[in-house]
Amino acid sequence: MICICCPLGCALTAVRDKEGEITVTGNTCPRGEAYAKNECLSPKRTVTTTVRVKGEAQAAMVSVKTAGEIPKDKIMDCIRELAGVEVALPVRIGDVVLKNVAGTGIDVVATKNIEKK
Amino acid sequence: MTDGQNVQVDVAIIGGGPAGLAAALGAKKRGADNILIIERDNELGGILNQCIHNGFGLHTFKEELTGPEYAARFIEEVKKEKIPYLLNTIVVDVDAEGKILTLMSRERGLFKIRAKAVVLAMGCRERSRGALNIPGYRPAGIYSAGTAQRYVNMEGRMPGREVVILGSGDIGLIMARRMTLEGAKVKLVAEIMPYCGGLKRNIVQCLEDYGIPLRLSHTVVDIHGKERLKGVTLTRVDEHSKPIPGTEEYIPCDTLLLSCGLIPENELSSGMGVELSSITGGPVVNESLETNLEGVFACGNVLHVHDLVDYVSEEAAKAGENAAEYVERQIRETSRGIPVCGEKGVRYTVPSYLRPEYMDDPQVIRFRVGSNYQNVSVVVYVNDICVIKIKKRTMAPGEMEQIKLKKSDLEKVCECNKVQNIRICIEEQ
């Protein structure tokens, strides 16, 4: 598998032995090892998307992200839950837009500062 | 600030994206007081504002930020330093001799300012369909990937429902994921080369995660539909990128996104008389990132297209510092410096000229290679004598490289004023 932790894109190999222990080779840093193990057991991703700004404002959308990684199979649920969310201005980076998205325990936060005009 | 030609600034910075912001902070740090950033959009931050994905700032901040978050760090700094900026204002013309900038905004119409130094930080634009010469009709539904990115991420509009992406650059891959998350069906990403143009991590997290096929050695040879795009003809290409007859395939779609490379935006620069490189499309600069026009500096993607914004910020800060230093010293230079050449696999270098008396110690020289290499050495020659040799496991055209040249490297060979040429080559080990 290819590591997605940084632009290097190391080619990783993960082997699981009889006891269920996973050994990772090909990584050039500790993040690669953690990624490969996670990818075998429960792949996770940070989701970045946008939500609408409430009412008529100088910006139509606010960019957001999950404050941490969420399980890969919850990505579309996360997107669906955010579809109905609207944010009132002003908004600051880090403001929580939606708590505990898709039951993952992870919040969705704003990634842009937009003042109210 | 009042209108009229008597408005004078020390450093005028054209563009308020990552390069312009870092250049302004660099100039401020080096002591310039009277700085002005001129931005054509309605906010600072440039293209970062529409790059809502994460992965920015790993080098600078040791954490993964989204584009708007990375921009905000610099915007806050600019505001804290009280550096003035104009929004919704374009630079129409620069008279290089007197450094008179003609500006235009909706509120003020045409007006002029004078500057002692100018920093070009206008960024780049995408290669358009016209430049790619795809035959067929010109229906609606064909966008550059970056235009679609702006529509979706900033304006909240969807360009279409059934999408084909031509070109596997990172923006194309990221838009494949983005369009999928927003409910579109991305049918495939076609790449004319036998390898992907974007990062491997983006193939995984933007295509494979969503089951989007990447068709290498394929291109679009025909566009169908009169009013609205109805479909494209996809074909396999041979090793010379020529379509192979009999491999045509009709793909129905209402949207075609083009992600086929970036070109530095230098209409303003060439209008001023700035000498441009035929390889990078950006200005030819010396070690201070100064163009052939005295007191006119360039940095960021207008100079050469970068892969990482961290390097744009780093380079632009230098350009800003050098502009401030130029304003302070006001010395007229006559010498261009020693030519720095890329040879044997090195496509270009930035800078192209080096004046030892002004060089940083060490001086960063950035370059790109022309093809993929494995187990090679980057070798630097001064007057044909090897002074640096660095082993590289892999090198690729998509990754900007850099070497650090020390003053002592030059002095190993001869006195600095006797250096005649500096060459950077790729050699077998």
**Which residues of B fall within a CB distance of 8 Å from A45?**
205, 209
Question: Which of A35, A112, A115 to mutate against chain B (most B CBs within 10 Å)?
Answer: A112
Determine which of B6-10, B118-122, B280-284, B401-405 has the lowest per-residue pLDDT on average. B6-10
In CATH, the number for domain B356-428 is 2.60.40
Measured CA to CA, the distance from residue A51 to residue A65 in angstroms comes to 10
Question: Which of B54, B58, B59, B177 to mutate against chain A (most A CBs within 10 Å)?
Answer: B54
* The pLDDT of residue A116: 84
Residue A50 pLDDT exceeds 80:
yes
Mean pLDDT value of segment B123-127: 92
Which pLDDT band, with edges at 50, 70 and 90, does B1 fall under?
A: very low
B407-413: Cβ within 8 A, 24+ apart: B407/B356, B407/B359, B407/B361, B407/B362, B409/B380, B409/B382, B410/B356, B410/B382, B412/B382, B412/B385, B412/B387, B413/B382, B413/B383, B413/B385, B413/B387
Same fold, B8-125+263-334 and B356-428: no
Mean pLDDT value of segment B240-263: 93
Report pLDDT digits (tens) over B345-375.
999 999 999 998 888 889 999 999 988 888 9
Q: Which of residues 297-336 of B touch A (CB under 8 A)?
A: 307-308
Contact yes or no for B168/B189 (Cβ under 8 A): yes
Report pLDDT digits (tens) over B299-321.
999 999 998 899 999 999 999 99
Report pLDDT digits (tens) over A61-112.
999 999 999 999 999 999 999 998 999 999 999 999 999 999 999 999 999 9
Looking at the structure of chain A, the number of domains it has is 2
- Structural domain that includes position A99: 48-110
- Both A35 and A54 in one domain: the answer is no
Alpha-carbon dihedral B356, B359, B363, B364, rounded to 10 degrees: -110
**Which residues of B fall within a CB distance of 8 Å from A59?**
154
* The pLDDT of residue B333: 67
Domain boundaries, given as residue ranges, for chain B: 8-125+263-334, 128-260, 356-428
Measured CA to CA, the distance from residue B154 to residue A62 in angstroms comes to 8
What superfamily in CATH does domain B8-125+263-334 come from? FAD/NAD(P)-binding domain (3.50.50.60)
Count of H helices and E strands in chain B?
Answer: 10, 27
Confirm whether A115 is domain-assigned.
Answer: no
Query: If we measure between CA atoms, which residue out of B313, B425, B305, B421 comes closest to residue B29?
Result: B313
Looking from the CA of B99 toward its CB, the CA atoms found within 13 Å total 21
CB contact under 8 A, B54 and A2: no
Confirm whether A28 is domain-assigned.
Answer: yes
CB contact under 8 A, B201 and A113: no
* The pLDDT of residue B130: 58
Query: If we measure between CA atoms, which residue out of B83, B72, B76, B66 comes closest to residue B23?
Result: B83
Confirm whether A116 is domain-assigned.
Answer: no
- Both A95 and A57 in one domain: the answer is yes
Name the minimum distance, in Å, from the CA of A20 to any CA of chain B: 25
Report pLDDT digits (tens) over A17-37.
888 888 998 888 888 898 999
What is the share, in percent, of chain A residues with pLDDT greater than 90?
Answer: 56
Fold assignment, B128-260: FAD/NAD(P)-binding domain (3.50.50)
Confirm whether A117 is domain-assigned.
Answer: no
Q: Is the dihedral of CA B407, B408, B411, B413 positive or negative?
A: negative
Residue B289 pLDDT exceeds 50:
yes
Residue A3 pLDDT exceeds 60:
yes
Residue B134 pLDDT exceeds 80:
no
CATH number at residue A81: 3.10.530.10
* The pLDDT of residue A57: 74
Report pLDDT digits (tens) over B152-210.
999 999 999 999 999 998 999 999 999 999 999 999 999 998 988 888 889 999 999 99
* The pLDDT of residue B2: 47
- Both A31 and A71 in one domain: the answer is no
